[in-house]
Amino acid sequence: MADKDFPGWHGTTIIGVKKGGQVVIAGDGQVSLGQTVIKGTARKVRRLSPGGFDVVAGFAGSTADAFTLLERLESKLEATPGQLARASVELAKDWRTDKYLQKLEAMLIVSDGADIYVITGAGDVLEPEHDVTAIGSGGNYALAAARALMDSDLDAEAIARKAMAIASDICVYTNGNLTVETIRK
């Protein structure tokens, strides 16, 4: 699938970093419409607590589509409490096969503090190598920066913040207004 066919790759940056017994998911606040910045303080990282089970999720792509996916993920987590991997796979299966969901243009990074996954509309549930993942237009910049910092003495939050700062300096669709959520298992 070409980038032009999947708008979810354009317009934000979300990063997930797992280090030292914690996972940090951070996202920028910029909302763009074409070449225009519409808002600079959006919250693209959310904490979900279905049935008392904490999960942090960040999204890139269409906001309405992402909220639809987050609601579906919450219902999957309620049906399979404490089983993020299973809920993620069930969401990805639905997303891939349901005619309504197939049209949704977003990607998710989710974590329960123990595991971290990227969920895509292609039916993928990906567990990143090197305990770092990123999505969105500045995702590759943030990913490269975070990977370079993983061997440092910095904790997960400091790595995520530095990586996002680098991405926001390079990607015009990413700003430095961050929402950062930390989760431990």
Q: What are phi and psi of 119, to 5 degrees?
A: -115, 130
179 is catalytic: no
Helix (H) or strand (E) holding 11: none
In 3D space, the residue among 140, 162, 168, 136 whose CA is nearest the CA of residue 149 turns out to be: 162
* Cβ proximity of 41 and 30 under 8 Å: no
Residue 153 DSSP code: S
DSSP 34-79: TTEEEES----EEEE-GGG--EEEEEEE-HHHHHHHHHHHHHHHHH
The residues with which 152 forms a beta bridge, in sequence order, are none
What CA–CA distance (Å, rounded) separates 149 from 176?
18
Catalytic residue among 12, 80, 174, 182: 12
Question: Catalytic residue numbers?
Answer: 12
